[in-house]
Structure 1
């Protein structure tokens, strides 16, 4: 990083034809800005001169978080004389903060001897550069933290993400699907050149074989001159071309991936800089070639990696198929570099009862492999290669959590009711991986949400009707005499089918849920037929329609369900009972059509995850705005209160199946509003039952007006925490 900053200040000085450019980086432990690079000030001051956060013009730029442009800097009252930097000759000063995710990382400055205010173009240039520099600096800091924690096992590198699922775990990082991208490769040395060379040769051999297969496949479709590109690729991989350069880099001590990255990027840049358009395009060929070799290098490494005993699964975006590849007894935590607290990966982690941290996007994926990690899902913290003493402290917390969990389990067989006798229906969300969802069915009131998409996601084709019948039958039989609410196929957004690609700019506002299945009635009808056949002689099936935004979608769905009922009755020559049909309330538009909806369907269930996303206009998978996603937002809570009041007036059955129903604070507020039916991940059911048995409805009635009057989610949580403290429940809910 030091070399990069040195090059940066020289380039800026030259580009703006000014006399000095400097970079100061923030040190929050020491509460000062340190001079890290300069072209114009005393070079001996680099790494030695620190300016406090509240001192001088540099501190002022950091405090104000905006550019400061002065013609006579030395006359300004905030100017601090620092003889060691030798800036006496400079008068004009322009300083710009370097800010990443609202945090000031440093200050970029330019200076000049003449008394003048830098013009708008110069200021705009510096602001633009500082904004671009911010993400690079944040990335570099994370890389450095990871690198240092690898070298020094007693020093903890701590990363911050979003708390995706509660709990604490200690394990070893395992990347199931590395990001095959040169941007994710950090340069590393190796003291085993022969081994690295063997890896490279193996990857080249596989890549050449791929090119041969591609050329053979395309030979009947492309003219000979177009097929010549495959010969060019072969030649580039030979020792006389790129191959020789890569071999040389490995001999100089770089690992195979790093050598490949250095050579490919070097040649690609050379082609990019050429004037001839044809030659410039060859840079793309070089990158394509390098990408293919990199993929094969990483695949070879991946096959050699043995799963650790305690796996912390780290991925760019954790998917259901990734979870299925790690044995449940070895999986202790999830870290997803993308996503948010209610992305699909976080929901899966909560369903499995394992901690998760989301949106840790600053650290390149390949830095994680093999590292020992502490994952704190309560606060969203990750400790890289922690010291043994730190591990012991966290192990104590894990033990305390286990004691609390055992206390909840002791009461799981008791009635679901408040301390004053108010009865509740506590159901489970299921379907992500039924074999992993362990709560005994007899302790629940049924399944409030069965996600049918998992068997679709796990296959390489659409499941047949018979395959679906067998799967649904197994679920319905587990809950005899109790409702099993099966949601029709809900893919799109962050749930993709590997064999049915949907590429959209705004997937959460696009072709997903009922919109997709109504456009493909052959998929919808087969699924409904399978549900109906699975329900024979059991009669505990309820059908739930997702992503409804318009009453016409309800009408068309009901028509198709009626058609499927007729087809199955005709096929089996029996009278078929029509199951109850409900609608998910998750799109704001349907909130205002509840009276019409109540006349068409039997019940409704609120999906708080998507409802929150759409009410707050926050893409829950976008790490830049994921912190704005909060189901405790006053607007969300007021919408939920209005919904239950309206449903009660209509005598329309309503329940909550979103993640809010499985959170202690959330379920208290929902109960206070008048909701009595909740569906949650099985791992939360014992805790929620334990909590509800310790509160009075009269107490919650006093809490509700205070909460609904709050102006922020932070204030909502403060009120609930105060309530739990008064009840002496806060410390008993979490270690």
Structure 2
């Protein structure tokens, strides 16, 4: 049964034409369950109905013609209940709807199962039989399991077909819904960087030049054969002759009489080289998988290994031939800092990260660069994004694929309007950061990428509230030396003379990996990261602290921030090491006139446990900085990088806001300086709520600073304080946002915050 399920799903995934995929689906299900009829209906949310898309057993002329409303008939009932409906005599049920066009009067038994993707009903899969009986538990389980597995495949197939048609016809714009990673709108061309060489990432595509594809395939085969020859020579002295024979088998499989012949045939039928390779490899591998003989079953693994190697070389060749577009929309499984460094800033207009969510590292980098980003888009295979014309709407988390000219014109107008609003904010950048009633605020910048320091306008800010020191570590292929760190930190400290510069010690782990120090964990966000890692490696921590202290000589504006603190013992050990580094440097400077300034030391509040130890913490440190990104993640138990649960991650959650309010009150009572350096400080709604709570020091990406200053100058603190009880009484993030929107609307500010 499991092999049948897998084969049915793979057949749907392999067929690029949705209608053909659905036709094959219903026939395969009908045969697998030995029933008399199988049909599939897909949901159309614009028309509010389910459309019959394929059937094996009903009237074939009804396909694409018969629609059943969301609240009508048994199909609508399955969709409403979002669970299987199993009836022995369907025609006697009060919800049964007579539809003469489908000719189902000869069927009594009915089993309908919803196809659901991310809580959204995509369609209904049904089986029917003339005999009046309840379908068995095994049959129902089969259909439920199939529906679960089909959900993502069907979404993929629909979007793949839409994008393919759009790229050729330019008629209907394909729309993808992701997660808003960074605000703004951009128009550009998709460019896939460092793609995963995985058959799952390959979308099936036809081309007009088979000879060119054949040439590319032959070249990849030639390189692969040469690779096998090198491997065979290298292993000749270590493996017996029968083991080395596998390389001869691989050679034979690539020859025209074997896999090569099949792949050439597929290319002549119009498939691109990657698609032809995928279709043939998966077909043969599946045939071997289904064999009873264990030895023959293992040959499926050989086929996949061989295909993977040819695919790698096809992709290498393709990547080298792709010219960088004038306006790049960078697309990757997971966008990294090194990827961003490869694209000239003048050409990079937007980011699309198939993995990650609103506050994943990729989204934070996009906001730091001031470019729109959309996250968590796994509907289209990675390579289908290549060279597609895209509109990236970072406000709503939408991607428009191959947009028509009228839509392009609309979005161009929105981009112009956005630019006008930005100019309005910038015109007040030189003014004081204060409320309309004169209450002052301290606005600082989050930094770490070189681009930020170039655009931070230091004369108009109150310093750097968070300098992420991990970026220089991530961008290298080894740990930076003390001298390299001193040089870098000097530049950062000197960029804001006489103003505070808060440097966070190395914060890697979670979604920030060092290429030369791999950390593989099942739960990385709950694992070895931040201060936990550096305290386990004092040789790394001490070098960094020494470099910071040395760079601070002659500056005197260094503040050291400790990340991922979860208990007081970590604070004590960190302070001990900082004291040790200070003594070492004092000894080095003995006998000279150079003075070593004392740096202030603070703690990031991002792990919930430390929230309840503020009184003890206040006696040990100089300041606190609240990291709302991780604090939200840990309070809500949501992996912020996981798009499946991304909808649960929200810094506007009432629990998060109440925790922030309690901390503000406690910090004021303890006279403990506390700032906000998480992404919430750079959101208009977020900063208003935080100001109402009593926070007055915010650190944010430089791209948000002008807007936040402009907004704060237009609100009275007393108005915000009246709003706060209503906010704290809300039961959901949606209610919180509605309250803030209502407030901004009353102040006539809402339409001035985005196009």
TM-score, normalised with respect to structure 2: 0.95
- 1-side partners of 2:292 and 2:562: how far apart? 57
Q: Is the 8 A contact 1:351 1:683 kept in 2?
A: yes
- Give the equivalent residue in structure 1 for 2:746: 726
- 2-side partners of 1:371 and 1:16: how far apart? 41
Question: 1:220, CA displacement in angstroms?
Answer: 5.6
Confirm whether residue 25 of structure 1 aligns to residue 42 of structure 2: yes
DSSP-derived class of the 2:455 partner: coil
Which of residues 648, 662, 687 is equivalent to 1:667? 687
Q: Which moved more, 1:129-138 or 1:277-286?
A: 277-286
**Superposition CA RMSD, Å:** 1.7
DSSP-derived class of the 2:737 partner: helix
- Give the equivalent residue in structure 2 for 1:600: 620
DSSP-derived class of the 1:236 partner: helix
DSSP-derived class of the 1:637 partner: helix
Q: Is the 8 A contact 1:418 1:693 kept in 2?
A: yes
Confirm whether residue 519 of structure 1 aligns to residue 536 of structure 2: yes
- 2-side partners of 1:268 and 1:227: how far apart? 21
- Give the equivalent residue in structure 1 for 2:635: 615
Number of equivalences: 735
- Give the equivalent residue in structure 2 for 1:590: 610
Question: 1:189, CA displacement in angstroms?
Answer: 2.0
Q: Deviations over 1:665-690 (max 9, x none)?
A: 00000010000110000001111111
- Give the equivalent residue in structure 1 for 2:406: 389
DSSP-derived class of the 1:367 partner: helix
Q: Is the 8 A contact 2:452 2:702 kept in 1?
A: no
Q: Is the 8 A contact 1:430 1:437 kept in 2?
A: no
Q: Deviations over 1:503-535 (max 9, x none)?
A: 111111111111111111111111111111111
Q: Call closer, same or farther: CA 1:194–1:33 in 2, change over 3 Å.
A: same
1:324-339 mapped onto 2 (5 Å cutoff): 324-339=341-356
Which of residues 612, 618, 639 is equivalent to 2:659? 639
- Give the equivalent residue in structure 1 for 2:422: 405
- 2-side partners of 1:86 and 1:640: how far apart? 62
Question: 1:437, CA displacement in angstroms?
Answer: 4.7
Q: Deviations over 1:183-202 (max 9, x none)?
A: 12122222322221221222
- 1-side partners of 2:419 and 2:194: how far apart? 31
Which of residues 718, 721, 738 is equivalent to 1:698? 718
1:648-663 mapped onto 2 (5 Å cutoff): 648-663=668-683
Q: Is the 8 A contact 2:185 2:393 kept in 1?
A: yes
- 1-side partners of 2:700 and 2:433: how far apart? 14
- 2-side partners of 1:252 and 1:117: how far apart? 45
- Give the equivalent residue in structure 1 for 2:6: none
Q: Is the 8 A contact 2:556 2:598 kept in 1?
A: no
- 1-side partners of 2:214 and 2:453: how far apart? 42
- 2-side partners of 1:219 and 1:599: how far apart? 68
Q: Deviations over 1:186-245 (max 9, x none)?
A: 222223222212212222233334334444555565555444433433343334433333
- Give the equivalent residue in structure 1 for 2:9: none
- 1-side partners of 2:100 and 2:386: how far apart? 47
Which of residues 49, 56, 61 is equivalent to 2:73? 56
Q: Is the 8 A contact 1:148 1:157 kept in 2?
A: no
- 1-side partners of 2:707 and 2:56: how far apart? 60
1:424-463 mapped onto 2 (5 Å cutoff): 424-434=441-451, 437-463=454-480
Q: Is the 8 A contact 1:180 1:298 kept in 2?
A: yes
1:97-176 mapped onto 2 (5 Å cutoff): 97-176=114-193
- Give the equivalent residue in structure 1 for 2:735: 715
Q: Is the 8 A contact 1:173 1:314 kept in 2?
A: yes
- Give the equivalent residue in structure 2 for 1:535: 552
- 2-side partners of 1:705 and 1:74: how far apart? 56
Q: Deviations over 1:18-50 (max 9, x none)?
A: 322211111222222122222222223222222
Q: Is the 8 A contact 1:25 1:34 kept in 2?
A: yes
DSSP-derived class of the 2:221 partner: helix
- Give the equivalent residue in structure 1 for 2:512: 495
Q: Call closer, same or farther: CA 1:211–1:514 in 2, change over 3 Å.
A: farther
Q: Call closer, same or farther: CA 1:219–1:568 in 2, change over 3 Å.
A: farther
Q: Call closer, same or farther: CA 1:125–1:166 in 2, change over 3 Å.
A: same
DSSP-derived class of the 2:115 partner: strand
- Give the equivalent residue in structure 2 for 1:92: 109
Q: Call closer, same or farther: CA 1:435–1:417 in 2, change over 3 Å.
A: closer
Q: Which moved more, 1:196-205 or 1:501-510?
A: 196-205
1:138-287 mapped onto 2 (5 Å cutoff): 138-218=155-235, 222-287=239-304
Q: Call closer, same or farther: CA 1:225–1:531 in 2, change over 3 Å.
A: farther
Q: Call closer, same or farther: CA 1:527–1:217 in 2, change over 3 Å.
A: farther
DSSP-derived class of the 1:553 partner: helix
- Give the equivalent residue in structure 2 for 1:11: 28
Q: Is the 8 A contact 1:343 1:620 kept in 2?
A: yes
- 2-side partners of 1:302 and 1:53: how far apart? 46
Q: Call closer, same or farther: CA 1:452–1:200 in 2, change over 3 Å.
A: same
Confirm whether residue 345 of structure 1 aligns to residue 362 of structure 2: yes
Question: 1:137, CA displacement in angstroms?
Answer: 1.0
Which of residues 677, 692, 698 is equivalent to 2:697? 677
Q: Which moved more, 1:112-121 or 1:708-717?
A: 112-121
- 2-side partners of 1:590 and 1:731: how far apart? 39
Q: Is the 8 A contact 1:352 1:437 kept in 2?
A: no
- 2-side partners of 1:199 and 1:179: how far apart? 19
Question: 1:249, CA displacement in angstroms?
Answer: 2.6
Q: Deviations over 1:235-269 (max 9, x none)?
A: 43334433333233323332111121122112212
- 2-side partners of 1:434 and 1:402: how far apart? 19
- 2-side partners of 1:26 and 1:154: how far apart? 22
Question: 1:145, CA displacement in angstroms?
Answer: 1.5
- Give the equivalent residue in structure 2 for 1:464: 481
Q: Deviations over 1:145-201 (max 9, x none)?
A: 211211221321111111111111111111112231111212222232222122122
TM-score, normalised with respect to structure 1: 0.97
Question: 1:583, CA displacement in angstroms?
Answer: 0.7
